[in-house]
Amino acid sequence: MTRDTPVTAERSTRMSDHTYRVTEIVGTSTEGIDQAIRNGIARAAQTLRNLDWFEVTQTRGQIVNGQIEYYQVGLKVGFRLDDGD
Amino acid sequence: MTRDTPVTAERSTRMSDHTYRVTEIVGTSTEGIDQAIRNGIARAAQTLRNLDWFEVTQTRGQIVNGQIEYYQVGLKVGFRLDDGD
Amino acid sequence: MTRDTPVTAERSTRMSDHTYRVTEIVGTSTEGIDQAIRNGIARAAQTLRNLDWFEVTQTRGQIVNGQIEYYQVGLKVGFRLDDGD
Amino acid sequence: MTRDTPVTAERSTRMSDHTYRVTEIVGTSTEGIDQAIRNGIARAAQTLRNLDWFEVTQTRGQIVNGQIEYYQVGLKVGFRLDDGD
Amino acid sequence: MTRDTPVTAERSTRMSDHTYRVTEIVGTSTEGIDQAIRNGIARAAQTLRNLDWFEVTQTRGQIVNGQIEYYQVGLKVGFRLDDGD
Amino acid sequence: MTRDTPVTAERSTRMSDHTYRVTEIVGTSTEGIDQAIRNGIARAAQTLRNLDWFEVTQTRGQIVNGQIEYYQVGLKVGFRLDDGD
Amino acid sequence: MTRDTPVTAERSTRMSDHTYRVTEIVGTSTEGIDQAIRNGIARAAQTLRNLDWFEVTQTRGQIVNGQIEYYQVGLKVGFRLDDGD
Amino acid sequence: MTRDTPVTAERSTRMSDHTYRVTEIVGTSTEGIDQAIRNGIARAAQTLRNLDWFEVTQTRGQIVNGQIEYYQVGLKVGFRLDDGD
Amino acid sequence: MTRDTPVTAERSTRMSDHTYRVTEIVGTSTEGIDQAIRNGIARAAQTLRNLDWFEVTQTRGQIVNGQIEYYQVGLKVGFRLDDGD
Amino acid sequence: MTRDTPVTAERSTRMSDHTYRVTEIVGTSTEGIDQAIRNGIARAAQTLRNLDWFEVTQTRGQIVNGQIEYYQVGLKVGFRLDDGD
Amino acid sequence: MTRDTPVTAERSTRMSDHTYRVTEIVGTSTEGIDQAIRNGIARAAQTLRNLDWFEVTQTRGQIVNGQIEYYQVGLKVGFRLDDGD
Amino acid sequence: MTRDTPVTAERSTRMSDHTYRVTEIVGTSTEGIDQAIRNGIARAAQTLRNLDWFEVTQTRGQIVNGQIEYYQVGLKVGFRLDDGD
């Protein structure tokens, strides 16, 4: 899935063929799946620049006393490598 | 997963063997996964009759400036083919 | 994904090697995915002790008149077997 | 895949959110795949109420003297949990 | 899996590189798997020309009162696109 | 994988949440995999607007007299649904 | 899936650890899936001794003029290696 | 994979078509994978009769202070259903 | 994916139900993926008759001094069994 | 799979939602699978803190002169990200 | 996974592009997984030259009287085809 | 897939059991799949030493105005960890 209509400025910066790296994380939350994803992405953004997309790889959770204590969402997160990376 | 207890009226209308078609779409939302599913189903319902079930095939999203801009949920959507379809 | 730092009391009770059982259920909800998971776990907790983790195996739903009537989330639920089980 | 047209009586009984359990069996037959499925379902129906759907997970068989002696069909079988289950 | 020995007449009509489209359907039957496949293909043939091959993607069914009421076979069906399609 | 840096003009046109459709085709070529992909995409572009991305699902081919006669590449092709589609 | 109750005579012949080989074939039939499996196994039994089990890997078929002309069933077939093989 | 040469006595007891049930467990051990499997099977054998085969579904483990504390092996375990089960 | 329009002569030679065998090879090349496939098929054709189709199972390669030295493409290759095979 | 009974001290330190990172390694050994896992984990522990769990992704090996020279076990290894990481 | 540093002598013998064949076997052992792999490889080495690598495809076993009687490990084994093979 | 004939010098340097790390990248190219792989490997080689093998995980691309603008190839890249890494 990609952005919609390409625009001129964007294209000119992509003359060279970029390489992306994909890192795998697990975001957690006591609230639900969406929040676990957001927590994981926010944490990854602290140390990685140019985050570009994510993909959910698995959804799990911990149960304590018959109730969900933690949602744990596995994520692959892609980011563009800059020249200096 | 199916409806629960069959009832008489329903059964009489299923004497013939129906065929279903499955189409694949990607629903998007800025809010979260559930809303991306609802958006996708609502859009499909504009042009397809007899939508019957869906199945999530993948969950992805776009990240801009370290934050999730779009949730993108892949869906298989099944619908019953009528005689005239 | 596991608990974080082990503590002494907990460890002493794990001298013996535990066995876990994994059961598969489908939780349903009219509201969304998170609630379908919670409903399924709550129902499983009525009859099973020591529920420990879950994993989502599939996400489906029913559509009626172009709108989602039921979210149906397949779950594997793990629980520790006690000596008397 | 689901039942077709919902009917009023059926819907009123689904006010509460049901949970289903999925059990895995292997049905066998000397005749063929369809009969192995039917044998497995018939056996499961002896001890489980509210059987609702099945899904074939694998199809195997035994060969003796160059001929198929047994068809063995792996099945996931779903059934609705009643309040008393 | 393909036809066996190519013959001259057939080859001359394949000078251009054809494109095929793959559609996904679910055929149903009260009798068994083979018949569910045949029903699905027959229905697809009412509206699509040049059907060429199918592949079974999943085999499921509905159970009512402990007996199989419907076999439901998921199929990918491939057909050749003509110039006018 | 997505476009790189978002730009203002593009973003303003994405106020609404788009839905994409995914169609599956098989492109063929006597030359190789890349050309089979290009042939398939070119054919799809004759009848579908707003093609946006593709994903290879399988790579097969036909062999005649010990040589590859046709490369056949399965493709999922995604395209944005316009309001009028 | 295995034979049921082991018997003495059989066990004494299994003192050594056997190795099995698995070969992959495609059985075909104009009649249906079960017959395609039987045809494939019968053909394999012409040249391989000690056939022991099979597993269906895929089910496909060819369509001509809107009707199924051939069922094609992929099979993995296991057989025990004798000392002389 | 199955027993080798069938013997007469065994066959006479299999006149009826048996059904098997498959349960999923996780065996654990501090020593290694083989022991985790044995622990899981031994625990299952305390409550289930006629255990017949197992299949490893996943191999995981816990790490504490940079060393493996627990091997955790997911297992599907099949057992034959008796008439009274 | 299959040949297109069947012709009379071909059909008459398929009165009997053929069986195919599938063998797995790895073709290699220093040039690229297409050539690795061609190399593998050419080698298989030296010893196997009636090669009919191939399917790519995986694409790997070796890197030496930061450059790709070998492309290695896993292939399943199907061929028709003759009566004498 | 998780630790068993949560304890108070542990829980208080998990007020915040942790994020984990998953890295993929291949451990090798001339002895066997368990040792290859231990070697890989020990090497990872030299540079990564807070290793928490592992999962085996594949088991391969090298053969020289008809004997296994190296067991190679693919592992996903999860570790908790600290604030300073 | 591959050998480490290439050396000159080795490289000169690989001027031509080799093809490998992959055969599938099942090794068995009463002792454990490692030994089942070794037994399978040793047996394959009796009839196949140039064995080069293996990959575990599945791990199963037989249970008799509540104890594991046989470990059965599925293996893909790759070997280089010589000119004369 | 591995190097062919081991040589003495190489073996002496592998007395210790090496560990490899696997990183995931996406290489892109406007030309085709092979070039996207080469671009990705070349970029990875700028920052990682001892790159040893790669494996293609997925092949995708972007379409603009009905033509492929970018091929995007997902790659797992393995490299040997040195003592100082």
The continuous run of DSSP H or E covering K41 comes out as: helix K33-47
**Residues A63, A53 contacting (CB under 8 angstroms):** no
Residues F35-47 pLDDT 10s? 999 999 999 999 9
Range of lowest pLDDT (E9-13, K59-63, K81-85): E9-13
Which fold would CATH assign to domain E18-80? Dodecin subunit-like (3.30.1660)
Indicate the residue of K34, K62, K68 with minimum beta-carbon distance to H38. K68
CB–CB of J18 and C4 under 8 A?
yes
Question: Does C13 score more than 50 pLDDT?
Answer: no
Q: Residue G62 has which token pair?
A: 């060819």
Residues A11-52 pLDDT 10s? 333 445 799 999 999 999 999 999 999 999 999 999 999 999
Average pLDDT, chain B: 85
How far apart are the CA of I53 and the nearest CA of chain F, in angstroms? 4
How far apart are the CA of B32 and the nearest CA of chain A, in angstroms? 6
pLDDT of residue E14: 44
Closest residue of chain D to B77, computed from CA coordinates: D1
CB–CB of B24 and E24 under 8 A?
yes
CB–CB of F25 and E22 under 8 A?
yes
Distance CA K58, CA K37 (A): 11
Which fold would CATH assign to domain C19-80? Dodecin subunit-like (3.30.1660)
Query: In H, what residues contact K, Cβ < 8 A?
Result: 1, 3, 33-34, 37-38, 41-42, 45, 51-56, 77
Distance CA B70, CA B74 (A): 13
pLDDT band at A3 (very low <50, low <70, confident <90, very high): very low
Query: In E, what residues contact D, Cβ < 8 A?
Result: 26, 28, 32-34, 58-63, 66-68, 70-72
Radius of gyration of chain A (CA): 16
CB–CB of H1 and G2 under 8 A?
yes
CB–CB of A20 and L30 under 8 A?
no
CB–CB of I42 and F72 under 8 A?
no
* Three-class secondary structure of residue I8 per DSSP: helix
Q: What percent of chain L has pLDDT over 90?
A: 75
Residues D6-48 pLDDT 10s? 333 333 334 457 999 999 999 999 999 999 999 999 999 999 9
pLDDT band at C12 (very low <50, low <70, confident <90, very high): very low
**Residues F79, F23 contacting (CB under 8 angstroms):** yes
Range of lowest pLDDT (B13-17, C55-59, K43-47, K61-65): B13-17
Distance CA F47, CA K84 (A): 52
CB–CB of C66 and B34 under 8 A?
no
pLDDT of residue D10: 34
Looking at residues F4-20, what average pLDDT do you find? 50
**Residues D28, D68 contacting (CB under 8 angstroms):** no
Higher model confidence: residue G11 or residue G44? G44
Query: In I, what residues contact E, Cβ < 8 A?
Result: 1-7, 9-10, 13-14, 18, 20, 52-53, 78, 80
Indicate the residue of J1, J4, J9 with minimum beta-carbon distance to C13. J4
Indicate the residue of B26, B36, B39 with minimum beta-carbon distance to F22. B26
Distance CA J17, CA A72 (A): 10
Looking at residues D49-56, what average pLDDT do you find? 97
Strands (E), C1-85: 19-29, 51-64, 67-80
Distance CA B75, CA B37 (A): 8
* Three-class secondary structure of residue E13 per DSSP: coil
Distance CA F27, CA F38 (A): 8
pLDDT band at I63 (very low <50, low <70, confident <90, very high): very high
pLDDT of residue L6: 32
pLDDT of residue B84: 66
pLDDT of residue H84: 65
Residues C23-38 pLDDT 10s? 999 999 999 999 999 9
Domain locations along chain J? 19-80
User: Does the structure's ipTM exceed the value 0.95?
Assistant: no
CB–CB of B1 and D80 under 8 A?
no
**Residues F17, F45 contacting (CB under 8 angstroms):** no
Residue C34's nearest CA partner among J69, D80, A7, B35 is B35
- Which residues does residue D23 pair with via DSSP β-bridges, in sequence order? D77
Question: Does G7 score more than 70 pLDDT?
Answer: no
Contacts of B66 in chain A (CB under 8 A): 41-42, 45, 51
pLDDT of residue B10: 34
Number of D to H CB contacts under 8 A, please give it: 37
pLDDT of residue G16: 56
Amino acid at C28: T
pLDDT band at F73 (very low <50, low <70, confident <90, very high): very high
Residues L54-82 pLDDT 10s? 999 999 999 999 999 999 999 999 999 98
Strands H51-64 and D51-64: unpaired
Indicate the residue of E42, E45, E53 with minimum beta-carbon distance to G61. E53
Contacts of E64 in chain B (CB under 8 A): 6
Residues E22-49 pLDDT 10s? 999 999 999 999 999 999 999 999 999 9
Question: Does A60 score more than 80 pLDDT?
Answer: yes
Strands I67-80 and I19-29: antiparallel
CB–CB of D26 and G54 under 8 A?
no
Distance CA A3, CA F82 (A): 15
- Which residues does residue D17 pair with via DSSP β-bridges, in sequence order? none
Distance CA G25, CA G39 (A): 11
Q: What region, left, alpha or beta, does residue J82 occupy, with left being phi > 0 and alpha being psi -120 to 50 degrees?
A: beta
Q: Residue B72 has which token pair?
A: 């993108």
DSSP summary character for residue A79: E
Closest residue of chain B to A43, computed from CA coordinates: B66
Higher model confidence: residue G71 or residue K84? G71
**Residues J72, J26 contacting (CB under 8 angstroms):** yes
pLDDT of residue H16: 56
Higher model confidence: residue L7 or residue C76? C76
Q: What percent of chain F has pLDDT over 70?
A: 79
Higher model confidence: residue J2 or residue D6? J2
Question: Does G22 score more than 70 pLDDT?
Answer: yes
pLDDT band at L23 (very low <50, low <70, confident <90, very high): very high
pLDDT of residue L50: 96
**Residues H26, H73 contacting (CB under 8 angstroms):** yes
Question: Does F75 score more than 50 pLDDT?
Answer: yes
Question: Does H70 score more than 50 pLDDT?
Answer: yes
3-class DSSP string for chain B: CCCCCCCHHHHHCCCCCCEEEEEEEEEEECCCHHHHHHHHHHHHHHHCCCEEEEEEEEEEEEEECCEEEEEEEEEEEEEECCCCC
Question: Does F11 score more than 50 pLDDT?
Answer: no
How far apart are the CA of F29 and the nearest CA of chain A, in angstroms? 26
Residues 6+ apart with CB under 8 A from C29: C35, C36, C38, C39, C70, C71, C73, D17
How far apart are the CA of C46 and the nearest CA of chain H, in angstroms? 20
CB–CB of G45 and D58 under 8 A?
no
CB–CB of A36 and J17 under 8 A?
yes
Q: Residue J46 class from Cβ within 10 Å (0-12 exposed, 13-18 middle, 19+ buried)?
A: exposed
Residues J21-64 pLDDT 10s? 999 999 999 999 999 999 999 999 999 999 999 999 999 999 99
pLDDT band at H4 (very low <50, low <70, confident <90, very high): very low
pLDDT of residue L14: 44
Looking at residues B24-37, what average pLDDT do you find? 98
CB–CB of F24 and B24 under 8 A?
yes
Q: What region, left, alpha or beta, does residue L50 occupy, with left being phi > 0 and alpha being psi -120 to 50 degrees?
A: left
pLDDT of residue A16: 57
Show which subunits contact L, needing at least 3 CB pairs below 8 angstroms. A, F, I, J, K
Q: Residue L72 has which token pair?
A: 């995007």
Question: Does G4 score more than 60 pLDDT?
Answer: no
Contacts of J75 in chain A (CB under 8 A): none
Give me the DSSP letters along chain L.
---SS--HHHHHTTSS--EEEEEEEEEEESS-HHHHHHHHHHHHHHH-SSEEEEEEEEEEEEEETTEEEEEEEEEEEEEEPPTT-
pLDDT of residue J51: 98
Distance CA J81, CA J62 (A): 35
Closest residue of chain F to E3, computed from CA coordinates: F62
The continuous run of DSSP H or E covering D69 comes out as: strand D67-80
How far apart are the CA of L56 and the nearest CA of chain J, in angstroms? 16
CA torsion, ordered H5, H8, H10, H12, to nearest 10 deg: 140
Strands I19-29 and A67-80: unpaired
**Residues I65, I31 contacting (CB under 8 angstroms):** no
Say if I and F touch: at least 3 Cβ pairs within 8 Å: yes
Residue L59's nearest CA partner among A26, F35, F34 is F34
Show which subunits contact J, needing at least 3 CB pairs below 8 angstroms. A, C, H, K, L
**Residues D4, B80 contacting (CB under 8 angstroms):** yes
Residues K1-21 pLDDT 10s? 444 333 333 333 344 579 999
pLDDT band at I82 (very low <50, low <70, confident <90, very high): confident
Closest residue of chain L to I36, computed from CA coordinates: L34
Residues 6+ apart with CB under 8 A from C58: B55, B56, C73, C74
pLDDT band at E84 (very low <50, low <70, confident <90, very high): low
